[in-house]
Every structure is written in C-alpha cells, then in structure tokens.
Amino acid sequence: MSELALPTPAHLAWAECEVGVIVHHDVQVYEPDYSFRRQWGYSPSPAVFAPTALDTDQWISTAAEAGAKYAVLVAKHCSGFSLWPTGAHDYSVASSPWRGGHGDVVADFFASCARYGLQPGLYASSSCNAYLNVDNPGQPRTGGAEAQARYNAAVLQQLTELWTRYGEVFEIWFDGGTLAPELGGPDIAALLAELQPRAVVFQGPPTCDHLLRWVGNERGEAPEPCWSTTNHLTESDGTIERLAFGIGDPDGRWWAPAESDMPNRDQRKAFQGGWFWRAGDDEYLYSVEHLLERYDLSVGRNSNLLLGMVVDNRGLVPDADCRQFAQFGREVRRRFAQPLASASGRGSGVELALPAPQVIDHVVLSEDQSGGHRIRAWEIEARTPQGSCVLATGSAVGHKQIVRLAPVEVAHLTLRVTSAVGEPLVREVAAYRAG
C-alpha cells in the first residue's frame, strides 16, 4: 500500500463534531452604514458598542439546541474592534460603555462553552484590520517595512492574549489565510506551536499540524467527491468562490479536511452577506428545509457544517433565529438518531441485514479515517422484492456519506468496495427511514 496522509487525533475529534456555529458581533451592528473598505480611515467610535442584554449563555444554548458541538467566536473582524480588553490598542470593549469598560466577551464565551459542553473556537483576522490601516493580504497601506513590523507586533500580541488568557482553543480561524514571514508577515506558526499546539487551524500556515481548508463557497455545500486530503491549501476571504478547493485529492500530501461555512440568513439579501445582524432582516432567514439540505450536502459529503449565528444590538441571538436553530437541531436528530439497522467490518464487502423487509430512504456510510482514505470507489447493492439492484455508487467516504434514496423496500444491503488502497476499514453502514 502506498503511503497515505493520515489525520491527527485533533482532526478526528473535529470530524466527530460535524456541526458548529460561527458567531459575528461587531460595530456595524450598531452603526449599519459603516463599511470599512468604503470608508477607509474612518472607524466608528467604540462608544457605539452598547448592548443592553449581552448573554453568551443564550448564544451557546441556542447553538447546542441546533446540534452544534463547537462554536467559533469572531473575536476581531476586519473593523479591528476587539471583543476583549486587548493591550495592543484602545479600540476594544475596554473603551466602550458596555459594563463600564470592564467587560470581556471572549471570557464570557469560553465560560458559556464550558457550561453547555461545546468546544470553543476563535476567529481573529491577521490579514485585515481597518483600525490599524491594514487590508488583505495583511500589508499596511502606507509606511512600508516599518509599519509592517509594528503591525506584526500587534498581531502577535493579540494572538498571544487570545491563546493564553482563556484556555485551550478547539479551532482557530484565519479568514483569508496568513501572510508568511518570508513575505513580511508575523511568525504565527511558531506562536501556534508554542501556545495552542492541539487546535485545528482553518486556513492557517501550511506548517501547522492540524490544518483545515475552506470548501470553496459560503453556501454550506461540499462537492462530490470531497476528500479530506489535498495538495492545495486555501487562503481566501470567501468573497470569490473557489469550487475546486473543496474536492481535494485522495492521494494529497496534506490531511486538511474541508469546512463548509454558511450564514443562516440569505447571503444575497441579508446584511453583509448574512453574517451580521440588521433590523428587519428576519425575513431573510433560510428555511429549516434549506438548512437540512445543506446538512446533507456538507456533513453528508465528508465535511463539517459551520453555521453563521448573528447577534443583535441587544447582544442576543434574535428570537426568530433561535426558533430556526432549534427546529433544525430537532429535525436532524429525528432523522438520524436511530438507524433501522447498522453494521461495520473490514474488507471489500460489508453485509447489512434488516430485521424484516422495510422501506428505507437513506443509507449512511462511514470510513475509519485513522487509516486514511483507503476506500476509493463503492456501490450499495440491495435485495428488494423485485430482486437485487445497485442503489447508489460513489467514491469518497471519509467521516460520513449520506446517501439519499427514493423510498425503496429492502431486506438486505451490501456495501461493496470496488476500489481501495489497502484493506478497507468500514466504520459503519446504516439504513434509515428519515422521510
């Protein structure tokens, strides 16, 4: 067997989570006309940040109802406003009226994650900070090497604060990647290795141990196939789709599975792509059926689904969003909580006998990823009242493949691996009646 790229334990733990949320809350929630690229050189006063009821327990309990197992807080987006009292500059919650300047959203967020059993993640863009006059890909607009050195110091100070004050970080998000030291950027990889060596890292430096890649769109849709291995790492801010990013390569050198992010509000109509709250945008919430389809097209295609969660000017997830998240979580659990039958095994054929002939509409496959991407092609054969037939074929399996079927009565299923590298390791074949 040729040598395959293998996941780390951190990768495997991340894949088990399947669903997460990413929480956006920034100054444009309070000053919706603000657009940093259109108003370069202007920053809203930190005094605008004045939520009256900010409650991270409400955020995280809502995420838990949706079935999320991890949450990523956008601690600093492109405005540069920081949701913790940073020592790098004055543009943070420490200069706001919220809690008299003594609040710390990041600390509250970590405490809430611990309370509700979610793994905490952090987004802190290193490539864009309007307050410090820096835009993608991380180079100051003026000031040359001296300005870049000052900015690098600020980035490393802020990341050190975030990665030392609050505990272990499950996932670290670098939207737009990072500027490499050889191009003048800060040495983020070394800091990660020192301070958060077990975190999975979305679009981080290529030398990181537990990399994730962008799926190539912000629609919550992985391609078919979607391999966890790749020869091409991603550095994109999500403004332009890169559909080829998601496919990967079964023989790729890096184990860097794709994460499928999407807002929970219509990205074409809602405020700033649906990632941030604006009054009157509740009508743009995606339907629960749309989110369920996205679940099948992300989690069901060997990816994790990362759902956007907006926070309003009270500091709360809006009521309509809470209902949407709760309904989504209930329906996923209803559909997939209990299979009609399941089996596992090694080798080219795994048999699944149902207790009695039953109508099914989904088959869920899972590979033991600790051995790498061994399964390269497969088919599902069924014994029906009309005789034997092939219900579905495919290539990648990975952590999970959700195979949607027209309802069909079956008594017996066989997962037949038709191409493999080494001995196939089938973690599960499971049949469901989810409709």
Range name among 210-224, 241-255, 411-425 with the lowest pLDDT average = 241-255
Arithmetic mean of pLDDT, 208-229 = 96
Q: What pLDDT shows up at residue 138?
A: 81
Cα four-point dihedral sign 124, 128, 131, 133: positive
Point out the domain boundary residue: 282, 301, 336.
336
- Residue scoring higher pLDDT (179 or 63): 63
Residue 417 scores a pLDDT above 70: yes
Mean pLDDT score, 102-127: 97
359 found inside a domain? yes
Whether 374 and 329 map to the same domain: the answer is: no
| d(C-alpha 21, C-alpha 26), whole Å | 16
For residue 363, the enclosing domain spans 341-432
pLDDT for 240 beyond 90: no
CATH code, 419: 2.60.120.260
- Residue 331 within a domain: yes
Which of 134, 148, 155, 127 lies closest to 41, judged by CA?
134
Predicted confidence band at 236 (pLDDT cuts at 50, 70, 90)?
Answer: confident
Quick one: 321 and 426 in the same domain? no
**N- to C-terminal Cα separation, the chain:** 41
Task: For residue range 257-284, list pLDDT tens digits in order.
Answer: 999 999 999 999 999 999 999 999 999 9
Tell me: do 90 and 107 sit in the same domain.
yes
Task: Give the integer Cα–Cα distance in Å for 413 and 104.
Answer: 54
Note the pLDDT of residue 92.
98
Count of structural domains within the chain: 2
Q: Are 113 and 72 in contact (CB under 8 A)?
A: no
Over residues 137-147, the pLDDT tens digits come to 788 888 889 99
The model's confidence at residue 233, banded by pLDDT at 50, 70 and 90, is: confident
Is 18 within a domain? Answer: yes
User: Residue range 352-361: average pLDDT?
Assistant: 96
Structure tokens at 79: 């405005």
The secondary structure of the chain in percent helix, strand, coil, rounded to multiples of 5, reads: 30, 30, 45
Same domain, 322 and 361: no
Token duo for residue 164:
């030392």
Residue 217 scores a pLDDT above 60: yes
Mean pLDDT across 197-214: 95
Backbone angles phi, psi at 110, to 5 degrees: -60, -40
Structure tokens at 62: 């809502």
Which pLDDT score is estimated for 141?
A: 84
Domain end marker among 318, 336, 354: 336
Mean pLDDT of the chain: 96
SS3 391: strand
pLDDT of residue 2: 61
Q: What's the 3-state SS for 400-435? A: CEEEEEEEEEEEEEEEEEEEECCCCEEEEEEEECCC
Amino acid at 374: R
Contact 277, 256 (CB under 8 A): no
Residue 245 confidence class, pLDDT cut points 50, 70, 90: confident
Q: How many residues does the chain have?
A: 435
Residue 239 pLDDT more than 90? no
258 vs 221: CA distance, rounded Å:
10
Residue 179, in any domain of the structure = yes
Which phi and psi (to 5°) does residue 387 adopt?
A: 120, -170
| Cα–Cα distance for residue pair 62/64, rounded to 1 Å | 5
Residues 250 and 348 reside in one and the same domain: no
Q: Say whether both 164 and 177 belong to one domain.
A: yes
Q: Are residues 314 and 373 in the same domain?
A: no
CATH number at residue 121: 3.20.20.80
